[in-house]
Amino acid sequence: MHRTGELYGQFETLEQQKESAALGMWVFLSTEVLFFGGLFLTYTLNRHYYPAAFGVGSNTLDLKLGGLNTVILILSSLTMAMSVWASSVGKRKQTTGFLVATLLLGTAFLGVKVIEYKQKFDHHLVPGYHFQIDYRVQHPAPNDDPKEIEAEKEELSKAFAKDPDLNAHAQLYFSLYFGMTGLHALHMIVGAGMLVWLIRQSMLGRFTPTYNTPVEMIGLYWHFVDIVWIYLFPLLYLIDRHR
């Protein structure tokens, strides 16, 4: 078994090994672009044909939590980039520190997502037999703000007038919501797993200015996952805020 940092047998030089790793990661990321791309295509078509349903669906999302998550994730990209920098100038403790920060921020992101998903579950907004777009206004919880409920009721009645099949179409929105954010979250979990490995390697002193390839490569992956969210946030949360 090769330890991180050694030259693998199929390569002639460390430089070749590094080049290959970098090209390999970028090519892999391009496959991810097309992978998510199919969902973005589906989103584009469905949003175009069902604007009322997408507007209503989007407004059920908690913008504060979504905005917070956006800040958290972009901050985690910063800390990830900083860990790459730290490893390239040989600062071992800072490398580990920034990696830990990235992991904590990523975990916080996932925690917020759990809260959001729970909210959707409570409001019967998970696609399936129990899906009902107007469940919340028909069964408001005791701590719901009555003004908010009223506003949502009005919004829903306007939307139903524009689109009698609002419930079915809103279900499509939520299928995409869960599908796209779910796939994104899955990628984050994989990223978190890789960060755990990176932190351990960093603590063992495996990264030096001449060899910090794993940090860079996993960094690339992490930034890509951030970019997916950069698109998901406006497309899912900001469709119809100007009601």
Partner 1 sequence: MSEHIVSPKVYIGIFLSLMVLTAATVAAAYVNLGPFNIVIALAIASLKATLVVLYFMHARYSPKRTHMVIIAAVFWLAIMLALTLSDYVTRDRDLASNTQLTGMLGS
Partner 2 sequence: MDTPTSTHSATAPVYKIPEEHYLNSSYGIRSWLLTTDHKRIALLYLFSVTFFFFVGGIFATMIRIHLMTPQGFLVTPETYNKLFTMHGVAMIFFFLIPSIPAVLGNFLVPLMIGAKDLAFPKINLLSWYIYVLGGCFVLYSFSTGGLDTGWTFYTPLSSVYSNSAVTPAVLGIFINGFSSILTGLNFVVTVHTMRAPGMTWFRLPLFVWAQYATSIIFILGTPVIAITLLLVGLERMFHLGFFNPALGGDPILFQHLFWFYSHPAVYIMILPAMGVISEIIPTFARKPIFGYSFIAGSSIAIAVIGFFVWAHHMFLTGESVYAALAFSFLSYLVAIPSAVKVFNWTSTLYKGSISWDTPMLYGLGFIGLFLIGGLTGLFLACLGLDIHIHDTYFVVAHFHYIMVGGAVMGYLGGIHFWWPKISGRLYPEFLARVSAIILFMGFNLTFFPQFILGYLGMPRRYHSYPPEFQVLNVMSTAGASILALGYLLPMIYLIWSLKYGTVAGPNPWPATGLEWKTDSPPPTENFLVTPEVTWEPYDFETRPDLELDHIVAGKLPAPAHGDD
User: In the set 174, 177, 207, 224, which binds partner 1 (CB under 8 A)?
Assistant: 224
Please give the residues from 50 up to 109 whose contact with partner 1 meets the rule CB under 8 A. 50, 63, 67, 70-71, 74-75, 77-78, 80-82, 85, 88-89
Q: How many residues bind to partner 1 according to rule CB under 8 A?
A: 54
As measured in angstroms, the least distance from the Cβ of 243 to partner 2 is: 22
Say if CB 143 and CB 24 are below 8 A apart. Answer: no
CB within 8 A of 55, min separation 6: which ones? 159, 239, 240, 243
The verdict on 127 binding partner 2 (CB under 8 A) reads: yes
As measured in angstroms, the least distance from the Cβ of 177 to partner 2 is: 11
Give φ, ψ of 208 to 5 degrees.
Answer: -130, 170
DSSP state of 7: P
Say if CB 177 and CB 236 are below 8 A apart. Answer: yes
Of 6-14, 94-102, 134-142, 218-226, the window that binds partner 2 (rule: CB under 8 A) is: 6-14
C-alpha 74/C-alpha 68 separation (Å) is: 10
The verdict on 233 binding partner 2 (CB under 8 A) reads: no
User: In the set 27, 141, 145, 146, which binds partner 1 (CB under 8 A)?
Assistant: 27
Angle subtended at Cα 177 by Cα 232 and Cα 179, rounded to the nearest 5 degrees: 100
As measured in angstroms, the least distance from the Cβ of 160 to partner 2 is: 14
As measured in angstroms, the least distance from the Cβ of 10 to partner 2 is: 4
* 213-232 vs 92-122: helix crossing angle, rounded to 10: 30
The verdict on 121 binding partner 2 (CB under 8 A) reads: no
The verdict on 37 binding partner 2 (CB under 8 A) reads: yes
The verdict on 119 binding partner 2 (CB under 8 A) reads: no
C-alpha 125/C-alpha 47 separation (Å) is: 17
Q: The tokens of 166 are what?
A: 């609002």
